[in-house]
């Protein structure tokens, strides 16, 4: 997928569409991927949710005194 993204970017195209096309090709051609992709996705998702929770908590903590 990284090669598809890089190829689309070099061709002055949209990298998102290149990565989407690569993912679509994997599904259509029924290719199996390494389980490391699934583990990486789970770890990245959990980390992103943690960072989002902390940032929203920090933003709301500044408004705590404004609530009556």
With contact defined as beta carbons under 8 Å apart, do 43 and 34 qualify? no
What DSSP designation does 46 have? H
Tens digit of each residue's pLDDT, the chain (68 residues)? 667 778 887 888 888 888 888 888 888 888 777 788 789 889 999 999 999 999 999 988 887 777 65
What DSSP designation does 34 have? -
Say how far apart CA 31 and CA 55 lie, in whole Å. 38
pTM: 0.49
Given this model, what pLDDT does residue 55 score?
94
Given this model, what pLDDT does residue 49 score?
96
Say how far apart CA 16 and CA 12 lie, in whole Å. 12
Given this model, what pLDDT does residue 38 score?
81
């Amino acid at each position: 997928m990284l090669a598809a993204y890089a190829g689309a970017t070099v061709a002055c195209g949209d990298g998102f569409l290149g990565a989407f096309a690569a993912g679509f090709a994997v599904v259509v051609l029924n290719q199996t991927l390494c389980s490391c992709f699934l583990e990486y996705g789970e770890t990245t998702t959990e980390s992103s949710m943690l960072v989002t929770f902390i940032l929203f908590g920090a933003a709301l903590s500044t408004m705590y005194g404004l609530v009556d």
